[in-house]
Structure 1
């Protein structure tokens, strides 16, 4: 390099301690951590009570965990000067609120780093605590408190919500205690194309009353702004939405409708299997071998799979499975129609066909028809309200499963809800520069 600009490094600038109102006065490198000696920049030698000048009265040292550099834990030893007023005798210390909150063990920069590591990089609390060289409880308490202040307690968090999704979620797999929670998702960004869906809240239990109570606690103006509620087939959610959000449109999303048809197909296949062979499906049984192919959309079936289906349906004893499979394919085709109007017409025709006049032998189709007829308005509403699918809700449930796996499970529901809101609640660090 012909015009080198390398100079002696300024540790204060390099470690960004100038942003915290600190200046580095020394450093000490240990095998497991780096220690930076600091002092508070500026002079606080004037009494805040009477305005008289103070005289130095010794110093105290404050120890703070700072953001790691190169994954080496960094500790700040901040020398804080004490003053005594010459007029009223009041004693005070230099202001370190810019560097850290009172009685905090993490610097402001460390807290920002930990929150970004948890939310954006999806690190565990254990990994964050290791990088900061603090205990698990210290890191966890600090991150959750800051996340609660920035996101959970944000009064504007529910503003602009017009489309919500509701679903149940299993938060723990134990024999004792309740394991279900109700999750409420903001689907407005999906519909408007503004971004991904986000978790609005998580409530213990799964029932009509749980969802109704949560809705009843929202301001009336907020409830009046809700246009669509996407949900599964649970009638409790529908009833609660109808009572608390009478102007909103209930939409039963394609995922759960298709699952109803898929369950009917599986039940028919298992019944025919038992009737023909007297036992559950085995590796050599044609119906068992075709169980996955039967759930594949007709437009995605390969030549080899099509040959397997032709051989399966060539057997007259499988005619009931073939008829149920055709109904399942018609339902999938309705959702994959090129335009909503065509899809709506196909779905409406299908519901009319299977809701009456179904042969007695097709018990699973008859049951499916009754269910679809009962929820026909909610099912068809999807085609009138594009972008109102509850699919993103299922996607967020998957992210929460990953969160629980990373943490090796949760025992405290309050902790789980807070972590879930940070993980999927739409927190964006770049929107909080003052973190």
Structure 2
């Protein structure tokens, strides 16, 4: 019977003395191996037993049942050095009173399930699960070092009922980090941690002043570009104000129809189908102020089609001067925004490639999907899952850098490992998880 139990437990160093099943799971009484030498002085054959007691250790669940190992924990006295000691236990993590295999299991499961679920299935305290996860996340954070981007994106994600700050590599289209909040101090601390911050040439962001203040303080050499999608979105908001202002002139049925047709009004003119154009012309024909607002919205979008800053400056000035009569209040917020962020908006037309956070919107949607799939995840788990369990974009350098003449002609020999660059979490792999 004992031999059968030994095989069930798969801990060959231990002798299984007994086993019993109770309502709270399976319990095994096991005897650890006797020490070969004194753990204080190293003398062999001079250790004698000096008391014992049962100590509970947790093990992997078996068939959905919790497992508790009751170790016959012995003390020994050494006749050579006259000291007492408890021998170390093979395959056990003494700090958490569990087996090593359970510790590894918790490390993995804490990334895939809420702490409370892992604690309930294993019989561990939820604080213990959280601590194991924290240590693993810190280890992974130290292991994964991302390359400093030339073009840094700073955006936000509304996750777990709070706005979070997202850092991205716009050139490589990768995710670099996710911060608990978007407060200026938190952003400053994180930007300060960027290795080789002088390599950041351009930073794209929405019109959130704490982001601008943080970049100006930590990366004063970097040029700031306002993400155009956050700006042009305000033009749609202005058009929505005009649409909503028409409700008093409409019947209940017309209000419902216009609300349903709002997506057509928010589309760009070149994206509207022939059928949608007929619908839009019906509304704009009946309400000229809606037509003038739509045309003015389109003109604002066209500013971003300019090929240089000079043309964009002129187009923006004309757009402000030609706001439709009676609509200055509607466009006031957008005019104020382009005034407060004028330099950052115009810098968009001076970079060698279009700088936007457009792909960050994909991260937002995918992160929200992950969060819905795992309700109950803490922010720390969500961040670790996104950063450390999703495939990274890596490139191995095949040539050796010369400290004297730059890039060498010869490649590494087989005896030397390639230098690997990690650019962060590959956006395309979000769909694979």
Is TM-score (shorter-chain normalized) higher than 0.5? Answer: yes
TM-superposed CA distance for 1:260, in Å, is 1.5
Report Cα offsets for 1:48-77 as digits up to 9, x if no partner.
332212424154443232333443333333
Contiguous gaps of at least 5 residues in structure 2:
393-433
Structure (1/2) with the larger strand percentage = 2
Answer whether contact 1:66 1:106 (CA < 8 A) is retained.
yes
Equivalence for 1:201: 179
- Measure the CA separation in 2 of the matches of 1:13 and 1:378: 69
- Measure the CA separation in 2 of the matches of 1:264 and 1:257: 12
Report the aligned-residue RMSD: 4.4
Correspondences of 1:377-416 after superposition (within 5 Å): 377-379=343-345, 384=351, 385-386=353-354, 388-389=356-357, 391-392=359-360, 395-396=363-364, 399=367, 403=371
- Measure the CA separation in 1 of the matches of 2:155 and 2:358: 8
Report Cα offsets for 1:110-157 as digits up to 9, x if no partner.
2332332232x3x222221221123444433x3444345424xx4565
Answer whether contact 1:73 1:132 (CA < 8 A) is retained.
yes
TM-superposed CA distance for 1:350, in Å, is 5.4
Equivalence for 2:135: 146
- Measure the CA separation in 2 of the matches of 1:375 and 1:149: 38
Report whether the alignment pairs 1:73 with 2:66.
yes
1:239–1:185: structure 2 CA closer, same or farther, 3 Å change rule?
same
Report whether the alignment pairs 1:94 with 2:87.
yes
1:302–1:267: structure 2 CA closer, same or farther, 3 Å change rule?
same
1:111–1:51: structure 2 CA closer, same or farther, 3 Å change rule?
closer
Equivalence for 1:324: 293
Equivalent residue for 2:36, pick from 34, 41, 45: 45
- Measure the CA separation in 2 of the matches of 1:37 and 1:250: 65
Equivalent residue for 1:242, pick from 205, 216, 229: 216
Report whether the alignment pairs 1:284 with 2:254.
yes
1:52 alignment partner, SS class: coil
Report Cα offsets for 1:224-262 as digits up to 9, x if no partner.
233333321123321331232112232322442232222
Answer whether contact 1:255 1:391 (CA < 8 A) is retained.
no
Give the aligned length. 383
- Measure the CA separation in 1 of the matches of 2:391 and 2:65: 23
TM-superposed CA distance for 1:324, in Å, is 2.8
1:99–1:264: structure 2 CA closer, same or farther, 3 Å change rule?
same
Equivalence for 1:114: 106
- Measure the CA separation in 2 of the matches of 1:39 and 1:334: 78
Report Cα offsets for 1:273-321 as digits up to 9, x if no partner.
45x45xxx94432543422332244455455433321211221xx2232
Contiguous gaps of at least 5 residues in structure 1:
1-8, 174-179, 410-415, 431-435
TM-score relative to the length of structure 2: 0.69
Answer whether contact 2:157 2:165 (CA < 8 A) is retained.
no
Worse-matched range after superposition: 254-263 or 380-389: 380-389
1:345–1:37: structure 2 CA closer, same or farther, 3 Å change rule?
farther
1:187 alignment partner, SS class: strand
1:32–1:73: structure 2 CA closer, same or farther, 3 Å change rule?
same
- Measure the CA separation in 2 of the matches of 1:172 and 1:128: 20
- Measure the CA separation in 1 of the matches of 2:40 and 2:21: 42
Equivalence for 1:314: 285
Equivalent residue for 2:384, pick from 395, 405, 422: 422
Answer whether contact 1:228 1:250 (CA < 8 A) is retained.
yes
Equivalent residue for 1:359, pick from 324, 340, 363: 324
Equivalence for 1:233: 207
Correspondences of 1:167-316 after superposition (within 5 Å): 167=155, 183-188=164-169, 191-192=171-172, 196-203=174-181, 206=183, 208=184, 211-212=187-188, 215=191, 217-218=192-193, 222-274=196-248, 276=249, 282-285=252-255, 287-298=258-269, 300-302=271-273, 304-315=275-286
Answer whether contact 1:65 1:110 (CA < 8 A) is retained.
yes
Answer whether contact 1:351 1:369 (CA < 8 A) is retained.
no
